[in-house]
Amino acid sequence: MSTDYARPPKRMHSITVHVAPPAKGVALPPISGSKDASRPLIVIDAGHGGHDPGAANREKGYKEKDVTLWLAMALKDRLLRDGRMRVALTRSDDRFLLLQERYDIARRLGADLFISLHADAADNEAAQGATIYTLSETASDREASRLAARENRADVINGVNLGGQDSAVNSILIDLSQREAMAQSADFARLLYREASPYVPFRSNYHRFASLVVLKAPDIPSVLFEAGYITSAQDIARLTSAEGRNKLAGGVARAIEVYFARRLNTP
């Protein structure tokens, strides 16, 4: 005698991973400072944020997204001190923004200068010092290429590209307007090095070029400032102290002031 046992129905298992859709038409941040619309507007971008922590100092527990926000706040306060500039932050709290949204905020506000703040990372704990990046479709060296690949991945979560950029956006044509912006960016990079050097140690090759998405506003001078290595004991001590941040902010603010003074005096 045989007995047939009914097989239990197969159970289907699934895992749902919620990925928030990219914000459409992200709200513009407030502009602080002078009420004179003719005054220069500087948009400061604190890199990373939200579910994107950036690099980390595992020993001290610091995350790049927090360090960059502290630096952005310090620079904003320093620029507003004299009342001659207008300033806006792409983020003033722990939120995620797409790379394109960051420079789009600057464009929609009509910014005169865009500065994206970051803190580098390396396996070698001896690596330290600041670096300034400006846009180029060709990386200046292998390290610049690796950094661009890492920073440009900020929009990719679980293999999903939240930016949804088409090929036309990813390969923005470098027209005459953007070439002018790139030249101005390089001028500002040299000023930033000169004015901030007394307060911030720079790497020997302080100015690098890379195809960084966040710098691709075609009509705004833009730099990405790696203010130091979050993995360096010396750099993280400077970046996380009020004194260190204030000195760095003073150097960057001085470079901004000289940059716009020169432009006002250029026929």
Query: Tens of pLDDT along the chain (267 residues)?
Result: 444 444 445 444 443 433 344 445 789 999 999 999 999 999 999 999 999 999 999 899 999 999 999 999 999 999 999 899 999 999 999 999 999 999 999 999 999 999 999 999 998 888 999 999 999 866 545 654 565 566 556 554 434 444 555 444 444 444 666 788 989 999 999 999 999 999 999 999 999 998 888 898 888 999 999 999 999 999 999 999 999 999 999 999 999 999 999 988 765
pLDDT digits (tens, 9 = 90+) for 122-142: 988 889 999 999 998 665 456
Structure tokens at 182: 């790139």
- How far is C-alpha 60 from the geometric centre of its chain's CA atoms? 22
Domains in the chain, start-ordered, CATH in brackets? 32-155+167-264 (3.40.630.40)
The answer to whether the predicted template modeling score (pTM) of the entire model surpasses 0.75 is yes
Structure tokens at 84: 């001659």
User: Which residues, at least 6 apart from 189, have a Cβ–Cβ distance to it below 8 Å?
Assistant: 132, 134, 207, 223
DSSP-based helix, strand, coil % in the chain, nearest 5: 35, 20, 45
Q: Which of 92, 115, 83 is nearest to 191 (CA)?
A: 115
SS3 per residue for 33-78: ECCCCCCCEEEEEECCECCECCCEECCCCEEHHHHHHHHHHHHHHH
- CA dihedral 141→142→143→148, nearest 10 degrees, is 90
- How far is C-alpha 162 from the geometric centre of its chain's CA atoms? 17
